[in-house]
Amino acid sequence: MQLQQLRYVIAAAEAKSFREAAQKLFVSQSSLSVAIKDLEQETGTKIFNRTSHGTSLTNAGVELVDYARRVVEQADLMENHYLKGAKHGRKPTRFAVSSQHYSMVVQAFGDFIKAYQTEPKSQFSLHETYTNQIIRDVSEGRSELGFMYISNYNDRVILHALDQAELNFRSLFISQPMVYVDAQHPLAQKSSVTLPDLEPFYRIEHEQGLEGSTYFAEEPLASAVHNKNVWVSDNETLLYLLHNHHAYTLATGVYMGGDDIVSIPLEESEVMNVGVVFRTDHSESTLAHDFLTLLGRRVVVQDHQVEVGSYAYDCARRELLVSDSSKREARNHD
C-alpha cells in the first residue's frame, strides 16, 4: 500500500470519475485505474462500483476513503513539518483543536488567531466534527485539544472511550441543558419547557456518522424518544432551520449568538459537563494555555451559567488578576 494509491482513491471518490480524477492529478487514466485495482486486490476490498456513467463508492469504500484521508493528512503534516519547514528556515507556528459545535469555541478560536496575527508563519486549525473523531484527532496528535461534554447519561461510555485512547477529560464548566428556538417560535415566551412541550416540533441534532450512538450525541437527552427528528452536519444549516421552521435544538446555556435565538431552560435533571480532552502524556503548550484562557474569557461572560471554581472561571479570573496587577504596576511607575 502506497500513499500515491491513497491519493488516487481520494481523488476518484471526490471526482466520481476515474477520467476526471486522472486529469486533476496529471496522470493517465490507465495508471490511476491500475493503481486503484491493485489497492483493491491488496486490501481485499471493492472500493468502487464502476458503471458507464462513472464511479461510486461501495459501503466498504466509504470506510476505506475515510481512513485514507486521515493517513494522507498525517503524511502531509509530517512533510510540511520536517521537509518544507527545513527548506524555508523558521518553521510555522502550529496549533489545532477539535470540537463539537460550540459557538464559544469558534469565537475563542477567532480571538486566538487575532492574538497571534503577528506571527510570520502560522498554521491554525479548528475541526468541528463528530464526537468519535474528536477522540481520534487528539489521540493521534492531529489536534492538541478537544472539546466535548459528558453527562450523567453518557459519562461512563465516554470516559471509557477516552481511557482506551489514553486521553484525559478536564471539566471547563457545568451547564443546564437549554432549548434553543427562534424568537418567533410558539414556545419562545415560556420561562421553562418540558419534553412533552417539545413533541409537536422538529428536534435538530448534529449527525455523528457511521459510529454514532446516543452516547456520543452532541445534544443532551439523546436517548429520549422523539418522533420528529432532523440531523444536520453544520451550524449554518441548523440556524437556518431554527429561523425558518418551528424547530428546536438542545445545547449548553453558553450561546454567543444574537437576540433572534432564544434559550429556554429545560425541566430535566440531566446536566452538561463541558470539558477539554487532552493526551495523558500531554504537556500543555503555551498555545494551548493561551487558547484555554481565551475560551475561559468567552465562557465566563455567561456567569449565570458558569459555576465558581470551574476551570473556565479560574482561567478568566487569573487573567483579570494579571491585568489588575499590570495596571497597579503602571500606576506605581507613574
Residues 22-52 have pLDDT tens digits of 888 888 888 899 999 999 999 998 999 888 7
Q: Which residues contact 100 (CB under 8 A, 6 or more apart)?
A: 128, 131, 134, 147, 148, 149, 206, 218
| Angle of CA points 153, 157, 159, to nearest 5° | 105
Whole-number pLDDT of residue 301: 55
More confident residue, 306 or 210: 210
Whole-number pLDDT of residue 158: 92
Whole-number pLDDT of residue 221: 86
Domain 3-86, architecture per CATH: Orthogonal Bundle (1.10)
Query: Which residues are paired to 249 by β-bridges?
Result: 180
Whole-number pLDDT of residue 161: 93
More confident residue, 86 or 56: 56
Q: For residue 83, what pLDDT band results from cuts at 50, 70 and 90?
A: low
The predicted-structure confidence for 110-143, as pLDDT tens digits, reads as follows 999 999 998 888 889 999 998 999 999 999 889 9
- The hierarchical CATH code for the domain 92-334 is 3.40.190.290
pLDDT at 326 over 60: no
pLDDT > 90 in the chain, percent: 36
pTM, 2 dp = 0.66
Domain edges within the chain: 3-86, 92-334
The predicted-structure confidence for 247-299, as pLDDT tens digits, reads as follows 999 988 676 556 688 889 898 888 888 999 999 988 888 999 999 988 888 87
